[in-house]
């Protein structure tokens, strides 16, 4: 299924939600991309349109791993299990919350102006986005809507990856989605027009909805706002986007099942014709093979003639136990097993292998690279936690590139210390100016992708001619 644009997706999704027409509903769009979708739904249901401003509370040093979320009017949700496993103190939680609340209030003022937030107490909140990638922002929005008093929460999206509801658990009371296609690389691949929604369009839609409500009946309407999930706008397909089969002249682009010891893990393998090597991705905590940032980097590597393998490091059952996302030895073992599995394939046999790790995945990549039977040609770490590889750092011989945002000061310091431990391998630390941990800033992720591409092209030896 493909949509012309977000308005088209909203009209189609509204038809599936028509059963809510006579209920006390408030439609909440996630800015920016979710608002055009939500506007069509609110119009069709005759319901007030609002936006839900949420900010994820990220674990210190690993902000992509959410330990909770905050919303307006003091709404706060904290996951005690993540807090306990990450060893986060109350003081650290307060520091993260203070920083995120300042940003939340700034965004709320930008989107709402002087309009009040639509009350949710006793109502059904329909949370709407233009699609689901990792689902972290949508989960936070649902939790905040409930904290604001919604008696029922419906999460509605036009498109999402298979199994998306299992990842979100009980965040919402009901899930509505028009399509769960396979393969799923990025939300944008299912839209003909997925151009960025500017702030002024969000404000205009909210004002238009408020005027329409006022004209129909004297009922207040307002808005709150949250950033679209980082990376979805640039999360292009890793290579093409066919469900399985060939790309180009004899290349491969397919979903695979990676054999990692006794477990089977979902993955996606792209091998351009004449690939000079394969880069295996190790995602960070709180992410998966669907990571929009990793998919974007993979797309750049594929265009340069490199193969890519993105796969889940944990099974769905294992993800429920948060201790596993910090078990670097377990994650490294999965990476080693995936490398052996990859090399057992006839189409990848003989190709040099590199590792690209993000956050805790970078620690796993370095740990795995230190294994004597892996023979990894190069390693790249994006916003990584190489310090978590501990004494294994001194055993890494593969050329290693560490990429960190200049504004990610705590992680930058950890990377500088870890670099001093990489005594047996050529290494380099690239600091991306004006970039934070998630490289959300304009041009930041592109800088990461180009640096990674050049590092792999420099250090992956060309396979011997057959």
What is the DSSP secondary-structure string of 8-35?
Answer: HHHHHHHHHTGGGTTS-EEEEE-TTTHH
Yes or no: say if 191 and 3 are a contact pair by the CB < 8 Å rule.
Answer: yes
Query: In this predicted model, which residue has the larger pLDDT, 250 or 119?
Result: 119
Q: What is the dihedral of CA 195, 200, 202, 207, to 10 degrees?
A: -150
Sorted by where each begins, the domain ranges of the chain are 6-216, 246-459
Say how many residues make up the chain: 466
Q: Is the pLDDT of residue 287 over 70?
A: yes
pTM listed for this prediction: 0.59
Region class of 245: left (phi > 0), else alpha (psi between -120 and 50), else beta = left
What DSSP character marks residue 241? Answer: -
Average pLDDT score over residue span 5-21: 94
Q: Please calculate the CA angle 186-108-144 and round it to the nearest 5 degrees.
A: 65
Q: Does domain 6-216 have CATH number 3.20.20.70?
A: no
pLDDT at 377 over 60: yes
Question: Does 341 have pLDDT greater than 90?
Answer: yes
In order of 3, 44, 81, 236, the CA distances from 61 in angstroms are 38, 44, 17, 27
pLDDT, average across residues 91-107:
88
Give the separation between CA 391 and CA 393, rounded to whole angstroms. Answer: 5
User: Is it true that 6-216 and 246-459 share their CATH fold?
Assistant: yes
pLDDT for position 413: 94
How high is the pLDDT of residue 222? 39
What pLDDT score was predicted for residue 463? 67
What is the pLDDT of the chain when averaged over all its residues?
86
Q: Is the pLDDT of residue 23 over 70?
A: yes
List all residues 6 or more positions away from 324 whose beta carbon is below 8 Å from its beta carbon: 314, 318, 330
Q: How far apart are CA 246 and CA 49, in angstroms?
A: 45
d(C-alpha 229, C-alpha 157), whole Å? 13
Check residue 272 and give its pLDDT: 93
Contact yes or no for 375/398 (Cβ under 8 A): no
Question: What radius of gyration, in Å, describes the C-alpha atoms of the chain?
Answer: 22
Please, which pLDDT band fits residue 221 given cuts at 50, 70 and 90? very low
Gap between the Cα atoms of 96 and 238, Å rounded: 33
246-459: what CATH class? alpha beta
| pLDDT given at position 240 | 35
| Per-residue confidence (pLDDT) for residue 215, from 0 to 100 | 77
Confidence at residue 459, expressed as pLDDT on a 0 to 100 scale: 95
Residue 173 has pLDDT above 50, yes or no: yes
Least confident range of 121-130, 131-140, 426-435 = 131-140
Least confident span in 173-182, 204-213, 320-329: 320-329
Query: In whole angstroms, what separates CA 334 from the centre of its chain?
Result: 21
Banded pLDDT at 227 (limits 50, 70, 90): very low
Q: Using an 8 Å Cβ cutoff, are 51 and 126 in contact?
A: no
292 and 231 in contact (C-beta within 8 Å)?
yes
């Amino acid at each position: 299924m493909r949509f012309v644009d977000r308005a088209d997706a909203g009209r189609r999704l509204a038809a599936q939600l028509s059963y809510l027409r006579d209920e006390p509903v408030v439609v909440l769009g996630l800015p920016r991309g979710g608002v055009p979708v939500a506007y069509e739904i609110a119009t069709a249901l005759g319901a007030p349109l609002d936006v839900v401003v949420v900010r994820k509370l990220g674990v210190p040093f690993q902000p992509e791993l959410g330990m909770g979320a905050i919303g307006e009017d003091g709404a706060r949700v904290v996951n005690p299990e993540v807090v306990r496993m990450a060893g986060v103190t109350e003081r650290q939680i307060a520091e993260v919350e203070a920083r995120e609340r300042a940003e939340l209030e700034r965004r709320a003022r930008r989107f709402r102006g002087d309009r009040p937030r639509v009350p949710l107490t006793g109502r059904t909140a329909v949370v709407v986005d233009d699609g689901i990638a990792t689902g972290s922002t949508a989960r936070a929005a649902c939790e905040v809507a409930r904290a604001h008093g919604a008696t029922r929460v419906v999460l509605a999206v036009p498109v999402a990856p298979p199994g998306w509801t299992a990842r979100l658990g009980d965040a919402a009371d009901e899930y509505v989605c028009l399509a769960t296609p396979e393969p799923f690389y990025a939300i944008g691949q299912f839209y003909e027009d997925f151009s960025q929604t500017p702030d002024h369009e969000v404000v205009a839609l909210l004002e238009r909805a408020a005027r329409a409500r006022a004209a129909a009946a004297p009922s207040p309407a307002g808005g709150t706002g949250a950033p679209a999930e980082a990376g979805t706008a640039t999360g292009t397909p890793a290579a093409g986007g066919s469900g399985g089969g060939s790309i180009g002249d004899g290349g491969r682009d397919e979903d695979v099942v990676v054999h990692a010891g006794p477990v089977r893990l979902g993955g996606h393998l792209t091998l351009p014709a004449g690939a000079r090597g394969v880069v295996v991705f190790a995602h960070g905590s709180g992410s998966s093979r669907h990571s929009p940032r990793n998919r974007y980097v993979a797309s750049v590597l594929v265009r340069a003639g490199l193969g890519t393998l993105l796969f889940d490091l944990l099974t769905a059952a294992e993800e429920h136990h948060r201790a596993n996302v910090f078990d670097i030895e377990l994650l490294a073992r999965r990476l080693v097993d995936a490398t052996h599995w990859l090399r057992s394939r006839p189409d990848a046999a003989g190709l040099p292998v590199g590792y690209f790790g993000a956050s805790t995945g970078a620690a796993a990549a370095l740990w795995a690279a230190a294994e004597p039977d892996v023979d990894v040609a190069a390693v790249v770490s994006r916003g990584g936690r190489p310090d978590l590889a501990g004494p294994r750092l001194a055993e890494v011989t593969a050329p290693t590139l560490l990429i960190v945002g200049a504004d990610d000061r705590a992680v930058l310091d950890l990377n500088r210390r870890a670099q001093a431990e990489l005594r047996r391998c050529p290494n380099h630390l690239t600091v991306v100016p004006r970039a934070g941990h998630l490289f959300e800033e304009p041009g930041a992720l592109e800088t990461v992708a180009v640096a990674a591409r050049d590092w792999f092209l420099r250090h992956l030896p060309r396979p011997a001619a057959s």
